[in-house]
Amino acid sequence: MQIDARGKACPQPVILAKKALDGGNQDITVLVDNRAAVENLTRLGRSMEVAVESGDAEGGFYVHFTGKAKHGETPAAARPAAGNGYAVFIGKDHVGGGDFTLGYNLLKMAIYTLAQSDDVPAYVLFMNGGVRLPAGDEAQVIENLQALIDKGSQVLVCGTCLNYYEIADKLKIGVASNMYDIMSAMQRADKVITL
């Protein structure tokens, strides 16, 4: 089976591939036109425990899935990694709607507080203006996010948002991800805290 997902925005290639895998297809080639889609599809294949290979194709890239996808249980890669299975969603680079500098400093303190806790989130999710933090130059933020990763948190950063702000090449920590993975993390979490 071949799926032409060239020109389709994130997370459409992942959703199309997942539907095909869920439908029992065991030999699927997805055509995409950007490297981020290749990475997202590769993570999908690994999480569903099917063989994945990729390479260059006319007009972009291909990702080929082979094998039967695991159903009926959550793959190990998709299970909450730590804590009580909660997620922290960061959609902007400051907390609240008042003074920006105060809000930025409050957000840095919130990330520090999470990193110092024994009850770390399973996921720290960055979207929209929040992606400026893992792609920024604030050493304290990067160090605290690394501390969270070291304690078992997964840090997912919206790739579409990084591209929108033209900072994809500046991502210092976390995994450039997609809407599908971020929404799936929120659905799996027992609760989601929005900062």
Q: Give residue limits of the domains in the chain.
A: 2-66, 80-194
pTM, two decimal places: 0.72
| CATH (one of 3.40.1260.10, 3.40.50.2000, 3.40.50.2300, 3.40.50.620) for 80-194 | 3.40.1260.10
User: Contact at 8 Å (CB) between 57 and 104?
Assistant: no
State which amino acid sits at residue 167. Answer: I
Q: Name the β-bridge partners of 65.
A: 28, 52
Q: Name the β-bridge partners of 123.
A: 87, 154
Helix axes of 12-22 and 179-188: crossing angle, nearest 10 degrees:
60
Res 83: pLDDT: 42
Kind and range of the H or E run holding 16? helix 12-22
Which tokens go with 96?
């609240």
Res 81: pLDDT: 46
Q: Name the β-bridge partners of 191.
A: 86
Res 151: pLDDT: 94
State the fold for domain 2-66: Translation Initiation Factor IF3 (3.30.110)
Q: Name the β-bridge partners of 31.
A: 4, 62
Res 80: pLDDT: 45
Res 90: pLDDT: 98
Res 71: pLDDT: 54
Helices (H), 52-195: 100-116, 139-150, 159-164, 179-188
Q: What is the mean pLDDT of each run of 10 residues along the chain (195 residues)?
A: 90 89 91 87 87 91 87 44 75 93 96 94 97 96 97 94 95 93 91 95
Residues 6+ apart with CB under 8 A from 115: 143, 144, 145, 147, 148, 151
Res 152: pLDDT: 93
Taking the CA atoms of the chain, what radius of gyration do you get in angstroms? 18
Res 91: pLDDT: 96
